Chains A and B, each alone.
Chain A
Amino acid sequence: MSTVANTPARVASDVQRKGEASLWRDARRRFFKNKLAVAALVVAVALILTAIFANVIAPASYDYSVIGDALQFPNRQHLLGTDSVGRDFLSRLIYGARISMIVGFSVQAIAVLIGVSLGMLAGLLGGWVDYLIMRCVEVLTAIPGILFALFLISVFGGGLRNVILAIALVGWIDLCRLTRAQFLTLREKDYVLAARSIGTSPFQIATRHLLPNALAPLIVAVTLGIPSAIFTEASLSFLGLGINDPLPSWGKMVADANSYIRVYWHLGLFPTLLIATTMLSFSFVGDGLRDALDPHLNK
């Protein structure tokens, strides 16, 4: 393969690769000029590291409870106090980051797998495949996503795995639509025609030409999908229909705090602050990426 120089396909793909490289370099430069996005990225990375090293950072285990220590205000021994069954609140918040990140990232992984492949199929094949996939999308969008997830959980029960599956089952829709729309516009481009004319197989056209060019908006969508999945998990757990005790979920901690909030303010304040910080930082990173990757959009 390497002995053949300068076949048209090779030249074409070289040109494309060069174009891409400068696109990514430009995007990186634009992203790092955006102070808000960079600050958000720092916070997001800190949250991810907290999630990964939760067992190292946390002063205690998330399920170690001493009933005698229940409902303490922040003090020297328990920096953020204890909850209603005497578990160290700081430790639970730290492990809560892990749960949130697990949910956010695995939901997006599943959503990419389903959404991008179905979107590729629909955009590439058209016809009845497209029709079938789009009708499925339409049915799923006839109900608000969170309601659908609630419904699924009421049927199949909560718990980490089911929560992830329930959110992912709705989460792929936007990615599917986006991929399809990208493929529909991109497949009319001249370079696709050129590739087709030299006999490139549809599969190769899809993976080598269409997908790389559709990548930028997909990356933005996935980045913004992470906080939205965390949002949904927190909401489900808040209703008591998500993560089960003793696993710590910020949403559930807020719900538990509701009965003690009159006195024990710390139980309500800290998890809500963390939810807000997470949502804001990931959203700002996503917005920053969008501005960096698509200079034509906005402004």
Chain B
Amino acid sequence: MARYLLGRVIGLIGVFIAVSIVAFLLMHSIPGGPFDEEKSPLPPAARANILRKYGLDRPLYIQYLRYMGSALHGDFGISFQNPTETVLQTIGRTWPVSLRLGGLTILIALPLGILLGIIAAVKQNTWIDYVTTFVSTLGLTVPNFVIATWLLLLFSVRLRWLPTGGWGGWKTWIMPVTALGLGPMALAARYTRSSLIEVMRADYIRTAHAKGLSGRRVIMRHALKNALIPLITILGPQVPNLVTGTIFVEVIFRVPGLGKFFVSSIYLRDYPMLMATMLLVALLWSATYLLSDILYTVVDPRVRLYGD
């Protein structure tokens, strides 16, 4: 196990370095920077000074090494669009908003999805099952900004129950959380349903029924425990997915989170900010994959990671 983990972590670091190099090279391969003539007309000497200050006059590999060196110390430079803040401060300011949005979404969407999945599995081929299937298909295939627009049209424009955007108070949370959560909820419902249906055919379930246990008890105590195992691998990667998902929801509902800030970084070609966000997401993404693999072996002793 330890050896397997070590191998995985080393692999992760390798991937991480590759991602950072690719991102760094791509960003510096383009003509046009934040201190171009048309954006900020400066005397050549002043421009050279600024370029020197940000280290933009050095050869690329030196810039990269210097960047990664200070990044390891938690210094991601200064955001071009908010020169009064470091990148870390900007992320520290905006990320909690996205985290709260994502966290709320997970807390509501996953249990609800699992519940819907159980109901759909137990009441297979009834109207409840069909409605659940329809909603989960919608949640899985339709972009969340489409769902968000429908929510806006219904609850803000038509019914005038909820504000169209902003971030403050539970009323502003309802629509972003719903738009963001429909996808993960759908996924949880769909997998719980098919996994539970499969488990219900297992021998030990028949045994449990034969012992005379009630249907509810068989499902809650025997079937569900095993049916939820595959969910770990499917839902683990959903966590970082919420990070990218929030981009659209934050833009449409004007939530001042990291996602909205990321989009403005793209418009403004804010290299330090873009680079830091990419590294952050890459780290989060690979870490959750690793974690869900480990969790899988803990929950299901039949699975071995290091055998193969």
Residues of A within 8 A of B (CB): 135, 138-139, 142-144, 146-147, 150-156, 227, 231, 234-235, 238-241, 251, 254, 257-258, 261-262, 265, 268-269, 272, 275-276, 279-280, 283, 298
Contact = CB atoms under 8 A, between A and B. Distances in A.
A202 to B, nearest CB: 26
Looking at chain A's contact residues, is the secondary structure mostly helix, strand, loop, or mixed?
helix
Contacts of B145: 235, 238, 251, 254
B149 interface: yes
B71 interface: no
A283 B141 CA distance: 7
Interface stretch (B43-51, B168-176, B226-234, B246-254): B246-254
B281 A279 contact: no
Contact of A265 (B23, B157, B263, B274): B157
Given A142-B19, A238-B145, A155 B278 contact: no
Contacts of B22: 139
B55 interface: no
Contacts of B243: 144
A155 B263 CA distance: 13
Given A144-B244, A147-B278, A268-B152, A298 B146 contact: no
5 contacts: A147-B278, A155-B29, A156-B30, A269-B153, A283-B141
A142 B244 CA distance: 13
A143 B281 contact: yes
B251 A272 contact: no
Contacts of B241: 144
Contacts of A258: 149, 252
A138 to B, nearest CB: 5
Interface string B228-271: 00000000000011011001100110000000000100110100
A268 B26 contact: no
Given A144-B241, A156-B30, A241-B266, A280 B146 contact: no
Looking at chain B's contact residues, is the secondary structure mostly helix, strand, loop, or mixed?
helix
A262 B164 CA distance: 8
A254 B248 CA distance: 12
Contacts of B247: 239
Contact of A272 (B11, B18, B149, B282): B149
Given A143-B281, A151-B278, 6 more contacts: A143-B285, A147-B244, A151-B23, A238-B145, A261-B153, A280-B142
B8 to A, nearest CB: 12
B266 A138 contact: no
B95 interface: no
Contacts of B152: 261, 268
A142 B146 contact: no
Contact of A275 (B146, B278, B285): B146
A71 B186 CA distance: 36
A279 B141 contact: yes
Given A239-B251, A265-B157, A269-B153, A142 B141 contact: no
Nearest to B17: A139
Contacts of A143: 19, 278, 281-282, 285
User: What's the interface size class on B, roughly?
Assistant: 35 or more
Contacts of B251: 238-239
B286 interface: yes
Given A275-B146, A276-B142, A144 B281 contact: yes
B159 to A, nearest CB: 12
Contacts of A241: 263, 266
B150 interface: yes
A174 to B, nearest CB: 14
A118 B141 CA distance: 28
Contacts of B30: 155-156
A185 to B, nearest CB: 15
Interface centre among A135, A138, A154, A275 (most CB of B within 10 A): A154
Contact of A155 (B27, B142, B146, B244): B27
Given A142-B285, A144-B285, A280-B142, A261 B149 contact: yes
B23 A262 contact: no
A281 to B, nearest CB: 10
A154 B263 CA distance: 10
A239 B15 CA distance: 28
Contacts of B263: 239, 241
Closest 3 CB pairs of A and B: A154-B266, A139-B18, A279-B141
Contacts of B208: none
B259 to A, nearest CB: 10
Given A142-B285, A151-B274, A154-B274, A231 B29 contact: no
A152 B26 contact: yes
Contacts of B69: none
